[in-house]
Amino acid sequence: MATAISVQQLRVDFRSRKGTVTALSGFDLEVPSGRIVGVLGPNGSGKTTLLRVLAGLQAPTAGGATVLGRRADDPALRAAVAFQPEGPLPFGVLSAADFLAFAGAQLGLPNATSDARAQALLERLDLLGAGRRWIRTFSSGMQKRLGLCAALLGDPGVLLLDEPTAGLDPIGSATVMQLLRERAAAGTAVLMASHQLLEVEELCDEVVVLQDGVLRARGTLAELLGTGADAVYVRGLDRDGLQRLAEAAAALGGRVERLGRERDHLFALFRRFARPGPGSGRP
């Protein structure tokens, strides 16, 4: 599998009147094409700085980063690498359609290609009914979805996302996650910083944990969260069968943690019962 992102002994320092602050302290990282990697860590851990370096917006103090085989700040990557930052979108007096037309022009896309892709993305992210509204009238979740539309407009090989589901309700989050899965399946490398741990767990192939600018852990969730203990998960037994199974487990020295009906989580409940609103641009 080809390497889409490669970081070598990356270090980023910021200087202020109070001295030097190290946002990232030399570490290595590789992200293959077609993988979704989550970047976790508390506020100030260096997540956004890492994304900005890879987007070519922040120069490293030491070390380096390559994206799709080029230096991260290479202008040739402008259309191949998309960065969706956290926070509100600029140009609040533009409509969603005009904003995407501007983004397409910045990428050098032919008008017909840009318009067709924008139409498809607005429809997919449930913004078609709000396409002519000013961005400043959008909710934070709508702006987040429109920002993802802009990031996907150039059909990038690498997606750098800063809190891509922040401010979204569970239906909007589920739509975004499915879209990212499809992009990864088509070969796009996705690196996303997030505090939405449930969504990271559902979506990401691997996670990277940063703390104080240092890479503390990296691996699949099975590798990082595994306890080493063996367990048995059983479905299809009635109450009497479960009780007998629990008694047999206890007789063999096992410990029955809980005996009762399986339940889902609230995130799944919301997705199951919520329905899109009619033409509001909001799921």
Q: Does the pLDDT of residue 268 top 80, yes or no?
A: no
247 located within any domain: no
- Residue 29 sits in a domain of what CATH number? 3.40.50.300
42, 211 in Cβ contact below 8 A? yes
d(CA 235, CA 247): 17
186 located within any domain: yes
The predicted model gives 29-37 an average pLDDT of 96
199, 177 in Cβ contact below 8 A? yes
The predicted model gives 132-140 an average pLDDT of 93
- pLDDT at residue 264 in the model: 72
- pLDDT at residue 278 in the model: 41
238 located within any domain: no
101 located within any domain: yes
82 located within any domain: yes
Q: Give the pLDDT band (50/70/90) at residue 279.
A: very low
- pLDDT at residue 225 in the model: 84
Residue 142: strand, helix, or coil: helix
Please state the domain count of the chain.
1
132 located within any domain: yes
174 located within any domain: yes
Contacts of 84 (CB under 8 A, 6+ apart): 147, 148, 150, 151, 159, 160, 161, 162, 164
Distances (CA, A) of 246 to 101, 235, 250, 255: 62, 13, 6, 9
261 located within any domain: no
Residue 186: domain span? 3-227
pTM for the predicted model, two decimal places: 0.86
**pLDDT tens per residue, range 3-25:** 999 999 999 999 888 889 999 99
